[in-house]
Amino acid sequence: MTTQVATEEKNYLQEGHTLASWLLTKDHKRIAVLYLISVSFFFLVGSIAAMMVRLELTSPRGVLMSNETYNKAFTAHGAVMIFFFLLVAIPAVFGNFLIPIMIGARDLAFPRLNLLSWYFYMAGGTMFLIAMMSGGVDAGWTFYTPLSSIYSNGQITLALVAAFVSGFSSIFTGVNFIATIHKMRAPGMTWWRLPLYVWSHYAASLIIILGTPVVAITLLLVVFERVAKIGIFSPELGGDPVLFQHMFWFYSHPAVYIMVLPGMAVISEVMACFSRNKVFGYKFVALSSLGIAALGFIVWGHHMFVSSQSMYQGIVFSFTSFLVAVPSAIKVFNWSLTMYKGSVWLASPMIYALGFIGLFTVGGLTGLYLASTGTDVHVTATYFVVAHFHYVMVGGTLLAFLAALHFWWPKMFGVLYPEAIAKWNALLVFIGFNLTFLPQFVVGYLGMPRRYHYYYFAPEFQVYHVMSTLGASALAISLITPAFYLTYSLFKGPKAPPNPWAAKGLEWEACASPPIKHNFHGVPVVVGDVYDYDAEAEERALRGLPPKETH
Amino acid sequence: MAISLNKMNQPQDVVYEQFEDLAQQQETYVIGMWAFLVTEVMFFGVMFMSYVVYRWKYQPYFYALHQELDWRIGGINTFILLLSSFSVALAVHFHQKKKKMQTLACLGFTNLCALAFLVIKMLFEYIPKWNHGHYPGPGFTWDNPNIPGNIAQLWYSLYFGTTGLHGLHVLIGIILFSVLMFMIAVDHPAITDYLPTEMLGLYWHFVDIVWIFLYPLYYLMPK
C-alpha cells in the first residue's frame, strides 16, 4: 500500500462530522467508538461507587454512611461494573472494531442489529442510572430472592428491567459475531488461521447466546414476582428461592468467562506481537477457549456450597470447577512460553499483558481454594472471595482492556500517545491493584465478611482496610491518567503509521490507520500462517546482517 | 407503480455492501437466525426447568391440577399450530418461486391459524380461569380442599408464565407476519429475496415446537 493513497482517502472518522452521522451509523468502527465512550462513562460511575465503599471501610465503626446507603453503594458498584462495563467493554468496543478487520470483512454481518445493540445498552444503562438516582438498589448485583422479590423496597424492578434490556444488547452482539465469524471470512482465512483473538470472541459469543437468555428470563420472573405476585421463587407458595440461585448462576458463572475470554483474546495478540514470536501451541490456545466455554456451564453450583445444595452435588461441582482450571492453565503456560526464545519488547501494552498473566494466575489459583468445598465453607462470603474475583475481573479483564486500548489506539484513531507516561502508568496500575486487593485476601481469611459497612467487632482489621483504600486511591489515579494522555494524543499526538508495532495480522498489514470506511481496498486474500513473526530475521535486519541462509 | 398480485415487482436479489455475493448473504442470515433461535430455546429452558423441579417435588398435586385443563382444547390448538407450520413452509416454497399470490395466501392462512390459537386460548382457557379467580397473585381464590392453595397458585404461576410467554411469541409472530405480508403486497424495496419469509418461517416453526412440548407437559400428564 502506498502512503499517498492512504493519506488522500477519507478514513472512517472523516466520513461525516454531524451528530447524526454518529448516532445513525452502521459502521462497526464507529459503533465501537460509541461503545468506547459509553463504557468509559459507566466505568467512571462504577468507580465512584467503589471509592464510596472503600472510604466507608477506612473506619471500623462505619461513620460515613448508613448501612442502607452502603448497600446501595456496593450494589451500584457491582451491577454497573458487571452489566455495563465488564460484560461489554472488550467485545463491544474492540471486538466490534477488530473482528471484521481481522477476518478480512467489510463490516459485521448485521450492521443495523449492531447499532440496535448499542441503543439497547444505552437504554438499559439509563434505566439503571435512574434506578440508582431515584431511591437506589440495595439487593446486591446478584438480586437474590426473597430479598429482591419480597423484602427490598428499592428500585429493584427498574434495575432488573435494566439488566434484562442490556442482556438483549449482549445477545445481539453475540449473534452478530457468530454469524460474522462463520460466514464472512476472507478467502484463505481458514479456521486454523484465525487470530486467537477471534477464537476467544467466538467462544465468548457462544456463552452469550446460551447463557444470557437464562438470566434474562430469570430476572423477569423476579419482576413478575414483585409486580404481579406470581410465585416461582416464593417459599410461601411452595416455590424455592434456591432455584433462583441455580438459574442466576447458570448464566452468571459462565458470564465470568464472557468477561475474561475477550480479555484472553487481547493477551494472545499482545503477547505474540511484543515477544516477536508465534503464540506457543496455537491450536491448544484456540481450543482451550472453547473448552472454557463448555466447562464454564457445568460449574455454577460452586456458588451454592452453603445454600442448602446437596453434599453430592457439591462434590460434583467442586470437581468440575477444578477441571475448568485446566484450559485456563493451558493459556497461561502457552503465553509464558510464547516469550521463550522470543524478543521481548516492554512496551505499555506488554506491561499490561504481563500484569494480566500474573494477576490472573493469582486469581485463578485462589479460585481453587474456593472450589474446594472444605476451604470454601471457611471463606464463603468473606473478603477472600472479593479479592479472588477482583483478581480475575480487574486483574484480568480491566488490564486486558487497558492493554487493548494502548495496543490498538494508533489503529483506531491514527495517533500515537506518549509511551513513557503510558509505561509508568501501567506499572502504577499493577502496584495500586495489588495494594488494594492483596490485603483483602488476608483480612478475608481472618474473617472479615463481605457486604458489611462496619467491623467494630474486629478493629484490628482496620490496617488492612486502610491499605486497601490507599491502593484503591493509587488505582483510581492510574485509571484516570490514560483518559488525559489518550485524549491529549487525539489532538496533539503524532500521526501513527499503519503498523507502528510492526505487528502481524490483517488489521496492521492490510489496513490504514485509521481504517477506511470499508476497511480494505478490495478483498484481502490470506496466505500463510497467523503470527508469522521471526525475531531472528528482524534482528538481522536491525543490525544490517544479510538474511539467514535456509537449507 | 402499479401493484400486481401475480408477480413480485421488488428489486430482486440485492446483495448488501458487507457481503460478497447472494449465497454468502443468505447463509449468513440463516446462521444468524439459528443463533437467535438458540437464545429462544434457552429462554423457554428456564420455564421448562422450573416446571421439572416443581413437578418432581409436587407430582400428586400437579397431576390433580392438570385436570383443570381440558386436553381437547389444547389438542385443537395443537392441530391448528401444526397446520400453520405446514402453510408457512409452503409460503417459503412459493416465495422461492417468486409466486406472490400464493405466498400471500399461505402467509395469510398462517396468520389466521395464529389468531385462532390465541382466540381459543383466551375464550376457553384464560378468561374462564380468570373469572374463577384462578390466576396467581393476591386475588387468587381456591376452594378444592384436596390441593393446598399455595401449590395450586404455584402451578398456575407456571402455567400462566409458560403459556403466556408462548402466547406472547405467537402475538409477535402475528405482528411480524402482518408486516411481512404488507411489505410483500406493496412490493416494498426491502424485500429483495425470500429470506425474510424463510427467517420468519424458522421463527414460527420454533414457536410451534415449543407448544409441542408444552401440550403434553401441561395437558397430558401421566399419573
Using the structure block, give the residue that is written with the C-alpha cell 502496584: A431
Q: Looking at residues B169-191, what average pLDDT do you find?
A: 93
Question: What pLDDT does residue A241 have?
Answer: 92
CA-nearest residue to A211 within chain B is B42
Per-residue model confidence (pLDDT) at position A309: 87
Residues B202 and B30: their CA atoms lie apart, in Å, by: 9
- Contact status of B141 with chain A (Cβ, < 8 Å): no
Tens-digit pLDDT profile for residues A237-252: 888 999 999 999 999 9
Q: Mean pLDDT, to the nearest integer, of A516-542?
A: 89
Interface test with A, best of B21, B41, B50 (most A CBs within 10 A): B50
Reduced DSSP (H G I as helix, E B as strand, rest coil) percent helix, strand, coil of chain B, to 5: 75, 0, 25
Share of chain B above pLDDT 70, in %: 95
The per-residue b/e assignment along B24-58, b for 16 or more CB within 10 angstroms, e otherwise, is ebbebbbbbbbbbbbbbebbbbbbbbbbebbbeeb
> Which residue has better confidence, B177 or B14?
B177
**pLDDT of A22 higher than 70:** yes
pLDDT for res A52: 95
Q: Which amino acid is at A405?
A: L
> What would the mean pLDDT of B3-23 be, rounded to a whole number?
77
Q: Which residue has the higher pLDDT, B122 or A230?
A: B122
Pick the range with the lowest mean pLDDT from A457-471, B125-139, B202-216.
B125-139
Contact flag B158-A214 (C-beta cutoff 8 Å): no
Phi–psi pair at A449, nearest 5 degrees: -75, 150
Chain A's closest residue to B156, CA to CA, is: A230
Contact B154 A239 (CB under 8 A): yes
Report the residue from B28, B136, B150 with minimal CB separation from A183. B28
Is B130 in the A-facing interface, judged by CB distances under 8 Å?
no
pLDDT for res A234? 87
Whether residue A105 and residue B18 make contact (CB cut-off 8 A), yes or no, is yes
* Averaged pLDDT for residues A435-440: 96
If one compares A62 and B104, the residue with the highest pLDDT of the two is B104
Partner-chain contact A179 B151, CB within 8 Å: no
How far is it, in rounded angstroms, from Cα A45 to Cα A124? Answer: 14
Nearest CA in chain A to B139: A229
Residues of A with CB under 8 A from a CB of B: 100, 105-111, 113, 171, 174-176, 178-180, 182-184, 209-214, 216-218, 221, 224, 228-232, 236-240, 243, 247, 518, 523
Is A175–B39 a contact, with Cβ atoms under 8 angstroms apart? yes
A382 DSSP 8-state letter:
B
Predicted local distance difference test score (pLDDT) of residue B206: 97
Task: Write the pLDDT tens digit of every residue in A444-479.
Answer: 999 999 999 999 999 999 999 999 999 999 999 999
CB contact under 8 A, A232 and B157: yes
pLDDT at B2 (0 to 100): 57
Q: Which residue on chain A is closest to B37 by alpha carbon?
A: A209
Residue B163 to chain A, least CA–CA distance (Å): 14
Chain A contact present for B142, CB below 8 A:
no
Does the beta-carbon distance from A228 to B148 stay under 8 Å? no
Q: Cα–Cα distance between A156 and A133 in angstroms, integer?
A: 12
Task: Kindly report the average pLDDT of chain B as a whole number.
Answer: 91
Q: In whole angstroms, what is the distance from residue A127 CA to residue A168 CA? A: 14
Contact between chains at A214 and B46 (C-beta distance less than 8 A):
yes
Q: Is B205 in a helix, a strand, or coil?
A: helix
Cβ under 8 Å to A: B residues 164-183: 165
Residues A26, A425: contact at Cβ < 8 Å? no
Question: Coil, helix or strand for B5?
Answer: coil
Beta-carbon contacts of A474 under 8 Å, excluding residues fewer than 6 positions away, are A428, A431, A432, A435, A436
- The alpha carbon of residue A231 is apart from the nearest alpha carbon of chain B, in Å, by 6
Do A523 and B158 count as a contact with CB atoms less than 8 A apart? no
CA geometry: angle B3, B8, B11, nearest 5 deg: 100
Least CA distance to A234: which residue of chain B? B154
Mean per-residue pLDDT for A169-184?
96
Instruction: Determine the Cα–Cα distance for residues A225 and A507; give it in Å rounded to an integer.
Output: 49
pLDDT by residue (tens digit) across A407-425? Answer: 999 999 999 999 999 999 9
Provide, as residue numbers in chain A, all residues whose Cβ is less than 8 Å from the Cβ of B39: 171, 175, 209-210, 212-213
* CATH architecture label of B93-223: Up-down Bundle (1.20)
Percent residues over pLDDT 90 in chain B: 73
Give B128-186 as a DSSP string. HHHHTT-SSSTT-----TTS-HHHHHHHHHHHHHHHHHHHHHHHHHHHHHHHHHHHHHT
Position A54 pLDDT exceeds 70: yes
Contact A546, A137 (CB under 8 A): no
C-alpha cell at A479: 485509571
Q: Who among B38, B46, B154 is closest to A217 (CB)?
A: B46
Candidate from B38, B50, B151 with C-beta closest to A238: B151
B-chain residue closest to A523, CA distance: B20
Q: Which residues contact A303 (CB under 8 A, 6 or more apart)?
A: A245, A249, A252, A253
Contacts of B20 in chain A (CB under 8 A): 523
Tell me: the pLDDT tens digits for B28-61?
A: 999 999 999 999 999 999 999 999 999 999 999 9
CB A234, CB B156: distance < 8 Å: no
Overall average pLDDT of the A383-411 stretch: 96
| Interface probe, candidates A202, A208, A237, A245, chain B, greatest B C-beta count within 10 A | A237
Q: Using the beta-carbon criterion (under 8 Å), do A217 and B36 form an inter-chain contact?
A: no
Q: What is the mean pLDDT of residues B119-141?
A: 89
Asked if the model's pLDDT at residue A95 lies above 90, the reply is yes
**Residue from B25, B57, B154, B165 to probe the interface with A (highest A Cβ count within 10 Å):** B154
Q: How many Cα atoms occupy the beta-carbon half-sphere of A452 within 13 Å?
A: 19
Q: What is the pTM of this model?
A: 0.94
Query: How far apart are the C-alpha atoms of A471 and A467, rounded to whole Å?
Result: 6
Rounded CA-CA distance A412/A404 in Å is: 11
CA B159 to chain centre: 16
Which residues make Cβ contacts (< 8 Å) with residue A314, sequence separation at least 6?
Answer: A301, A305, A373
Comparing CB atoms, the residue among A179, A236, A243 nearest residue B150 is A236
Nearest CA in chain B to A167: B39
Cell (9 digits) for A303: 456458588
Sorted by where each begins, the domain ranges of chain A are: 34-519
Q: What are phi and psi of A415, to 5 degrees?
A: -130, 155
- Please indicate if any CB of chain A lies within 8 Å of the CB of B49: yes
- CB contacts of A236 in chain B (<8 Å) are 150
Name the pLDDT band for B165 (thresholds 50, 70, 90).
very high
Cα nearest neighbour of A101 on chain B: B18
Q: What is the pLDDT of residue B182?
A: 95
Interface test mutation site (partner B, options A209, A220, A249, A250, max chain B beta carbons within 10 A) = A209
Please state, for a pLDDT cut of 90, what percent of chain A lies above it. Answer: 86
- pLDDT greater than 60 at residue B1: no
Q: Which of residues 26 through 45 in chain B touch A, CB cutoff 8 A?
A: 27-29, 31-32, 35-36, 38-40, 42-43, 45
Residue B10 is predicted with a pLDDT of 65
Q: pLDDT band for position A116 (50/70/90)?
A: very high
For chain A, the residue count is 551
Round the average pLDDT of chain A to a whole number and report it: 93
State residue A453 phi and psi, 5-degree precision. Answer: -95, 0
A449 DSSP assignment: B
Where are the domains positioned within chain B? 93-223
> Is the domain A34-519 a CATH 2.60.120.10 member?
no
A:B CB pairs within 8 Å: 118
